[in-house]
Structure formats: structure tokens, C-alpha cells
Structure 1
Amino acid sequence: MFRINHASNRIVKLKEVSFSELGFTERHHLQEWLANQPDALGEELLIIQKEFDGFDDTRERLDLLAIDKNGNLTIIENKLDDSGKDVVWQALKYASYCSTLSKSQIAEIFQKYLDKARPGQDAKALICDFLGQEEFAEVVLNPGNDQRLIMVAAQFRKEVTSTVLWLLKHRVFVKCFRATPFKDGNDLFLTVEQVIPLPEAEELMIGISEKEDEEQSSERGQATRHQLRTDFWHAALEALRTANVALYANVSPSRDHWLNAGSGTSGIYYSMIFNRDETRVDFALGTRSKEANKALFDHLFARREQLDAEFGAPLSWRRMDDKKVSLIECAAPFDGHDRENWPVMIDWLVDHVKKMEKVFDKEVPGLRNLARTQFSKEAAA
């Protein structure tokens, strides 16, 4: 690293120092820096735990546990001036331990971290925001054997680099970063450089294999989910037709996890939801105006007790101020991916679609007028 001297139009080399010279430690310094600035590792990562020790029959603990943008668990191992000869073996062990973690366990691990580091925040909501998903039920975490390894040190031994390159050829996703401190008077600097694979060679070394694996895995997973959903909607729509429920008469089966039916007013509609762990019916207020949707929701919410009574059970009223749409819902837990549960699930859907339409169909004309009034106000503003 060089300092630029504008006056002399020269560059001056800064002194490279060691972490031990500066009195820095792995746990209290390097680990903390990366935990609070994970993009120093060249990508967006969500740190979900530090010093994670949730392994059975062992007292070992990994430095940092993170989620990447594809929902893969990422194990980050930090060393200081020397990687040591066993860091790869150590990281591989941790990856094997973490490979069995379920989505709910990962959310629980993250929640414990938040409760200690940032009280009051919800792990599932932060994971959804990070991965760009609306609902935690749709989030996929820690799929298959795609756990990733990131190792950070000032210097890597030859036996480490040789092993890492071999692992990369066998589609184990490993990265090595060199962390180097510099000193300029009283000022300290740090560079974090990816050294394996070299950034310009990364696409050649692992990009193709990642893409192939990802596409194959994604295609297989999507094909399975899409077929499952299509089959379920075929059965559900047939049951609605048999029960003389006309609301979905003009709706075709879909590979999506939802099916919408119009109310006769644009932006106001009914939904059936088919998730892995629940099925749900919604009355959605999703006109082109967020303000209008909140006004429509508030109009109905003012008579919440009456509408709940007409439905026959308490509904879930979700104004969702941070979203454009507002929802009124009723859900029931089911293992939706077990076809043996489908008859009961579909009976539940038929019954609750009827109830939802009966309660809210008569509300639609008033909502339509209220929406028009709101649109006029916004146009005049």
C-alpha cells in the first residue's frame, strides 16, 4: 500500500506490520471488524452468529457464521499472521457440522445472536429482507451440501493453498482472503484481498461449475415444487367446482404458490395460498395506491369485531405499513408437501373461501367508492 504525496507528486510505501506487533487479536479485533463489515469479503453476507458452538458432543466453535444471497451457510474462519496448517480441516469440520442445520434452527441461531447484539429485531424478518422474499415460508436456507468456506489470514501456508485449490476443482466453494495491516505514523490501515481464487479467475475456476450445479439443483427443485403446486391447484379447483363455489370458476391451475380471484373491482381480490407449512385464504387490498389500500383497510378494520363474527373466527388483520398491499387472512398449519394431507387441506380451503367471499363480497361496492374518492384526492393534491 502506498500513500500519495500530492505536493511532491510521489508515492510513499507504507510500512507493512503484523497483527501481533499491533497487539491485535483474532477474536476481539479481526473477528469484530468482519462481523460488522462483512462486505469487506467482497459480497453481501448476513452474519447470523459469532463464536458459534451449537455442535453436539464437541466444544469446538467457529468464528463467524453467515448466510449468503443464495441462502447458503457460509463458515468464516479467521487467523492472524499465519493461517496454520489445520485451518482447512477445521473449516471443513464446521461445514459438515452445519450441513444438518434446518431452516428453523438457523432462524433460532440468528435470533439468539440478535437478542444479545441487537435486541428487539426479528430474525425471520431480517432473513426475508436480506434474501428478497415476502414470507419466511418461501425462504430456502442451507440447501443440500452447498455450505461455503471463507478463510482469512495475513499469510497462507503452502499446504493450505494446495488443499484449497484441490477443493475448488471438486466444487467445494472456498475462498481465501489475505488481511494485511499497515502503519503510517499513528494511522493504521487494513487491506483485505481475495487471493484464492483470484477474482479475475474465479469465474473460470468455479463459476461454470457453480452455474451448472445451481441450474441443475434449481431446475430439479423448481420442477418438483411447480409440479406439486400444479397438481394441488388442479385438485383444489375441482373441489371448488364440485362445491358450486364460482369465485375461481375462470381461474386455471398454476405452478405458483398462490391463486388469485377477482372481486369485480381492480386491485381488490381474493387469494388462496399453498405453502410448505400452511394453507391460507386472503382478502387483499392491492390497488395502485398504497394510501388508498391503507384507507380501505382502516375502513374495514373499524368493524373488525363484526366482520370476524360474520366469518366465524378471528381473522388476521395485516395493515403492513411498509408494503403497498394490505391483507386480511385466515391460515391453518399443514404439511403441504405431503400429498396425503391434501384432502383435508382442500376441504379447509373450500370452506374458508366460501366464508371469505360471503363476508367481503358485500363490502366490495363500498370499498370501490372509497377507493375512487381516495384516487380523486390524490389526483387533486
Structure 2
Amino acid sequence: MYLIDKKNNRLAKIEEKTFSELGFKEREHLQEWLANEPAVFGEDLLIIQKEFDGFADTRERLDLLALDKDGNLVIIENKLDDSGRDVTWQALKYASYCSSLSKEEIRVIFQDYLTRCGSGETAEEKLCEFYGKEYDEISLNKGTGQRIILVAAKFRKEVTSTVLWLMNYNIRIQCFRVTPYKKDDELFLDIEQIIPMKDAEDYVIKMAEKAQDDIMIENRLKSSDALRLEFWTALLKEMAKKSELFKNISPKKDNWISAGSGISGVPFTFVILKNYARVETYIDTGDKNENKKLFDHLHQNKEAIETAFGEALTWERLDDKRASRICSGIDCNPYDRENWDFIIPELIERMVRFEKALRDYLKKSKK
């Protein structure tokens, strides 16, 4: 840090110091400075407790507890010259302890702090003033919105590495570096947000949210793959009791499973979607003209085919696409195991009727 000497048009270096060199203590000094001037963190924060130890079954104390403008609890842990190795784990514990605090419990904690500070105001009054709302309209500590702020002169590598990793999992955590300076008899304190960098904070948060979304999507996909494999295993087992059409087919992770009809590119297929399941033949021989010709041949016999099937089918020529489709479906959720006792027999029964209704007409089309 430098002091501008305007008179001589020069810079004068200000000597960097450590807190220990200046005789400052963590609780007596740094904690008091932050509690009385929370704006140093670059946002409006309301300090609601110091040295809070109101956790069940433990006497651990967090340094400062605050609320932000969104009603989230903010756990502030401050160290002096060295962050130490365990500050991240310590703060995470406190955040987990605070996650269950109700609005009423927060009010009581804040009221205790105001009383100890000799303030004549009530917690309700201060909260209404801070949020600009009636007390009944204020929502506090919603879901998993708890935040963490770490403060120290120097952060160890194991701390910064852990913080950056936690941010990828949507943990809202910030690191502020505090540096004392001395020039003659004057003392200065520089407070700088180093993680995430202030200018890139919105970007980092968005990237962390995206990374978390990607992980959730990947986990859902893995879960869906496993469930579909289980569904097809159960369906094929029951199908084998009714027909040999799928006897050489193995279960798979896709949302469809097919067996040959005797014509290349015209399989009999089971399909499951989120709220729908169907049996179909998807006509795609590789040649659009051939596909439409085959579809039209079958459609000319629509009445006879539907009579054999026992009900109306859905006929999709799909003129804007190469392929065509004929199908019969049911509204259901195949991804809920509780529905399988209905869905599996229903699909099998439809497939048996479907294959029987189309079989002879497909054979004729080959001639």
C-alpha cells in the first residue's frame, strides 16, 4: 500500500505489519471491528450475535453471526495472521448447526445480543428496520441458504483449495484478506475479498451453479439408466411367457427396446417416456420413398388392422421426416415402480396384439 504525496507528486510506501507485531488480538480487536462495521464485506449485513455457543450438545463458539438482505444466515469466522488448517471445517460445522434455526430462534438469539450490548431496541424492531417489512412478512434462514465468510491475514493453501472445491457444490463461501499497515503513529487496515475475486464473483457463482446442475443432471441420468435396465429386465421376463418375439433381446439402458419384424428397418418397439408408454413400429428403411410407400400400404388396410388389434391405432406418416410411425400408447409414468404392475402387462398385451395385427400385412409388403 502506498500513500500519495500530493505536494511532491510521489508515492510513499506504507509499512505492512502483522497483527501480532501491533499487539492486536482476535476477539478483542479484529472481531470488534468487523462487528461494528460489517459494511467492510461490501454488502448490508446485520450482526445478530457474537461468540455464539447456543448449539445443542456442544459448547463450540462461532465468532460472528449475521443476516444478509435475503434472509440468509452468514457465519463469519475471523483469524489474525494465519487462517490455520481447520477453519473451513470449523465454519462448515457452524453452518450445519445454524441450518436448523427457526425464525423465532433467530429472533431470540438477536434479542440476547441486543440486551447484552445494552440496546433498548427489540430484535423485531431491528429486523423490521433492516428488511423494510412487517415482522410477519420477513422470512429467515430458508432452506440451505446459509453462507460462510472467512477472514484472515493469510490463508493456507489447504484452506483456499477446499474453499474453491466447495464453491463447485454451490456452497456460498467467501475469503477476505485483512492486512494492517502503519505509517508513523497512524494505523490502516486493508480488507480485500480474494475468493471469489470481487470482479468475477457473479461469474464464479454462476459457473458453480452450472457445475452443480450438471452433476445433478448426470446423477439423474445414471439413476434413470439403472431404472430402465430394471424395467426392461422385468418386462422381457414377462414377455417371454406370452410371445417369442423378444426372446433373443437383452435388457438395455435406453428408453426403447426393439425386436425384428422380418423387414429390415421396421422393428416392433416398446418405448417408455416420463408420462407415456407405447408399442410401435417405426418405419425407417433408410429410404424416405420406401418408408412412405410401406406406410401407405399399411394405411390402406387401416380398418382391417385396427379390427385385428381391437382398437384404434395412431398413424403418423410424418411427411416432413424420413421415417413414419404406427403406435398405440397409454398415459402413465413408467419411472415410478409402483406403476409397473399395471404398465408391464398392459404393454405386453398390446405388443402381442400389435404384432399379430400387422404381421401378415408386413409379409405381403415384401412381395
Cα distance between partner residues in 2 of 1:5 and 1:85: 40
Alignment correspondent of 1:78: 78
Counterpart code for 1:157: R
Alignment correspondent of 1:120: 120
Q: Secondary structure at the match of 1:203?
A: helix
Once the two structures are superposed, what CA deviation does each residue of 1:89-117 show, in whole Å capped at 9, x if it has no partner?
00000000000100000000000000111
The verdict on how the C-alpha distance between 1:161 and 1:209 changes in structure 2, with shifts beyond 3 A counting, is closer
Once the two structures are superposed, what CA deviation does each residue of 1:263-291 show, in whole Å capped at 9, x if it has no partner?
xxxxxxxxxxxxxxxxxxxxxxxxxxxxx
Matches within 5 A, 1:18-97: 18-97=18-97
Once the two structures are superposed, what CA deviation does each residue of 1:181-229 show, in whole Å capped at 9, x if it has no partner?
000011100000000000111111114666999xxxxxxxxxxxxxxxx
The verdict on how the C-alpha distance between 1:128 and 1:210 changes in structure 2, with shifts beyond 3 A counting, is farther
The verdict on how the C-alpha distance between 1:52 and 1:181 changes in structure 2, with shifts beyond 3 A counting, is same
Counterpart code for 1:163: T
Stretches (4+) displaced over 2 A: 207-213
Cα distance between partner residues in 2 of 1:71 and 1:212: 25
Cα distance between partner residues in 1 of 2:96 and 2:206: 23
Counterpart code for 2:106: I
Cα distance between partner residues in 1 of 2:156 and 2:51: 24
Matches within 5 A, 1:124-273: 124-133=124-133, 135-207=134-206
Alignment correspondent of 2:277: none
Once the two structures are superposed, what CA deviation does each residue of 1:325-351 show, in whole Å capped at 9, x if it has no partner?
xxxxxxxxxxxxxxxxxxxxxxxxxxx
Once the two structures are superposed, what CA deviation does each residue of 1:230-252 show, in whole Å capped at 9, x if it has no partner?
xxxxxxxxxxxxxxxxxxxxxxx
Cα distance between partner residues in 1 of 2:125 and 2:210: 28
Cα distance, 1:38 vs structure 2: 0.2
Alignment correspondent of 1:13: 13
Counterpart code for 2:169: H
Cα distance between partner residues in 1 of 2:206 and 2:18: 33
Q: Is the 8 A contact 2:74 2:147 kept in 1?
A: yes
Cα distance, 1:32 vs structure 2: 0.1
Q: Which has the larger radius of gyration?
A: 2
Name structure 1 gaps, 5 residues minimum: 214-381
Cα distance between partner residues in 2 of 1:74 and 1:212: 23
Counterpart code for 1:51: E
Give the aligned CA root-mean-square deviation in angstroms. 1.6
Cα distance, 1:118 vs structure 2: 3.5
Cα distance between partner residues in 2 of 1:178 and 1:35: 16
Quote the sequence identity (%): 61
Q: Secondary structure at the match of 1:49?
A: strand
Cα distance, 1:22 vs structure 2: 0.4
The verdict on how the C-alpha distance between 1:76 and 1:15 changes in structure 2, with shifts beyond 3 A counting, is same
Cα distance between partner residues in 2 of 1:27 and 1:207: 35
Cα distance between partner residues in 1 of 2:43 and 2:94: 21
Cα distance, 1:131 vs structure 2: 1.4
State how many pairs are aligned. 212
Q: Secondary structure at the match of 1:180?
A: strand
Cα distance, 1:137 vs structure 2: 1.2
Cα distance between partner residues in 2 of 1:83 and 1:212: 28
Alignment correspondent of 1:369: none
Cα distance, 1:7 vs structure 2: 2.0
Counterpart code for 2:187: L
The verdict on how the C-alpha distance between 1:44 and 1:87 changes in structure 2, with shifts beyond 3 A counting, is same
Alignment correspondent of 1:288: none
Q: Secondary structure at the match of 1:24?
A: coil
Counterpart code for 1:148: R
Q: TM-score, normalised by structure 1?
A: 0.54
Q: Secondary structure at the match of 2:84?
A: coil
Q: TM-score, normalised by structure 2?
A: 0.56
Once the two structures are superposed, what CA deviation does each residue of 1:40-76 show, in whole Å capped at 9, x if it has no partner?
0111100000000001111110000000000000000
